[in-house]
Each structure stands twice: as C-alpha cells, then as structure tokens.
Amino acid sequence: MQYSYPEPWSITPSVAPAIAGLGLEQNVVQLRDEGYTIVENAYSPDFCARLREAILRVTREEGGHYFDIKPGEGISAYHLLGADDLFAEALLNPKLSALSEYLCGGDYLLSQIAASVRFSGASAMGLHVDAQWVPPTDYNPLFTACLALDDLTEAAGTTKVIPGSHKFMRNPDDAEAAAAVGAVPIACKAGSFAIWTGYSWHSNYPRTLPGERVMLHMTFCRLAYKPAEDYSALGDEFLAKWPPAIATMLGRNSWLGVAGRNGGACDMTQYSRMWSAARS
C-alpha cells in the first residue's frame, strides 16, 4: 500500500487520460495558476433548456434566499439531488468529472447541489472564499462549479473572481473585499460551466439587465471532508437509476462513517480502495 500523496496541483496518472482526451489541459493550468477556469459548450442547448425550467420550478416552490439573495432580488433552492433527474444528469458530465478528480482526488464527494435565480436589479454579495471551515492546506479541499443557463456578462450579474487569490488560502479582509483589486467577470455562454477553487476570492456583479439569471451550483469536496448536504435518505431505488459514480459522490463506497462494533468485526471492504482513491 502506498502512503505518499502526489504533489499539490499535479495531474495524477489516474486522471491524466481524461484530462488529455477531453482537451482540458489549459483549464488545469488556469486552475493551478489563477484559481478558476471556464469550460465552454459543456452541456447541450436542449439539456440546458430543460434544466432551466426545472430550476425555475423548484426555486418558485421553495422561494429561498440562499446565496445571500435579498427578498425581491431573486430566489433559490438547495438540496436538489432527487428533486428532478436532470440534477443527477448534470453531475455526470465527463468534463466536470475529470476536473473534479483533478481538484479533489479520487472518490470526491458531492457537497451541495443548489440553484439560484437573480432578478434584474439584484445586488452583489460580498467577496469571500467557499472553504470557510477548512484550515489552510496546499491540497485544494473543495470547489464550486456553476453551470450557466443564461449567457453571462458583468451586466448579467455573473461571478466576479480575483485571479491568483487562491494562493492566499484565506478570506479577504474588509478593505480587500471592498477594493476587489484585479477582479474579472466570468463571462460565458449558456451551456458552459465555470469552476473556482475553495480558496478563490469571488462574489458576483449586480444584475442590471432585464430578466433573470438562472444558474446551477455544484460543490464537491475531498473524501475526508464533510459535505454540506445530507443525502442519506436517497436509497437503493434512487441509486439504481444512475451509474456507480453517483453512489461514490454520496460517500456510499467509502469506509468512512460506516465502521461499527458489529460484534467485534469491522467491514473493511472499502478500506484499501478508499486509501488508494484518496491519493489519486
């Protein structure tokens, strides 16, 4: 059994073929150096249209204000896996899967899948990092991928990111957050997804265009971290509909959290495989 880890930000042998085969080499370089990247044309127009309608439905039903959305400026919904098959389909995108393994190692976990709808006039949230509860580490602990379901520009209220800020491995202070020096808008077409790492400073721009900005937020974390959302209620009937990757994302193939007394016995079935995956 090997106990050593690969160098931070390196492309490991397990994921290298997918990175090369899907043409993601430059995305990996940008993630390493700048802390974010955009993958264009990752989802089909038909899929995006159907997913957009699903998001409008679930957000109207929930009417939430997650993602610091102020009343009257938009709505949100979270804990979406199982609410519509389209949400599970979105998680299985090959390019997203390859970059997920690059950023969070083998057997990465789904931490959260949520959606936001911002209306015209929506204000911006404060600059922040997503890895709020993770001490500084050279190994990226988690990341968020946002699937654009409308064309995104600064006026549309897209995400604002500070390239290279992930190297600080901390939140910006108040002055840094207010100044947002070096901020760039993540501009892309519907069907693209943007990724930023767990320590990247980001927020969003106010929306000045008419209409709505609809987005799916997918957050993943390393095997050793605790996800934000609990999907333990999704049982075998749900998992049978999907490839094994979904069960792995939900931690069902991990030894962590399943050890018990069992009359002195311990199920070690997943133990060695998990150790190997965490180092891939």
What pLDDT band is residue 269 in, cutting at 50, 70 and 90? Answer: confident
pLDDT of residue 266: 66
* Banded pLDDT at 261 (limits 50, 70, 90): low
Domain boundaries, the chain: 16-278
The amino acid present at 108, given as its one-letter code, is Y
Q: How many CB atoms lie within 10 A of CB 148?
A: 27
Is the pLDDT at 268 greater than 80, yes or no? no
- Reading the block at residue 53, the tokens are 């309608």
Tokens of 153: 């520009």
Q: Which has more pLDDT, 1 or 26? A: 26
What CATH number is given for 16-278 in this structure?
2.60.120.620
Mean pLDDT of the region 14-24: 97
Which amino acid makes up residue 177? A
Long-range pairs of 182-187 with CB within 8 A, sequence gap ≥ 24: 184/160, 185/152, 185/153, 185/154, 185/158, 185/159, 185/160, 186/36, 186/38, 186/152, 186/158, 186/159, 186/160, 186/161, 187/152, 187/153, 187/154, 187/158
pLDDT digits (tens, 9 = 90+) for 72-127: 999 999 999 999 999 999 999 999 999 999 999 999 999 999 999 999 999 999 99
240-250 pLDDT per residue, tens: 999 999 999 99
> What pLDDT sits at residue 1?
45
Q: What is the full DSSP assignment across the chain?
A: -----PPTT---TTTHHHHHHTT-HHHHHHHHHHSEEEETT-S-HHHHHHHHHHHHHHHHHH-B-TTTPPTTSEEEE---BTTBHHHHHHHT-HHHHHHHHHHH-TT-EEEEEEEEEEETT--PPPPB-S-TTS---SS--EEEEEEESS-B-TTTT-EEE-TTGGGG-S---HHHHHH-TT-EE--B-TT-EEEEETT--EEEPPP-SSSEEEEEEEEEE-TTSPPSS--TT--HHHHTTS-HHHHHHTTTT-STTT---GGG----TTHHHHHHHHT-
pLDDT tens digits, residue range 191-220?
A: 999 999 999 999 999 999 999 999 999 999
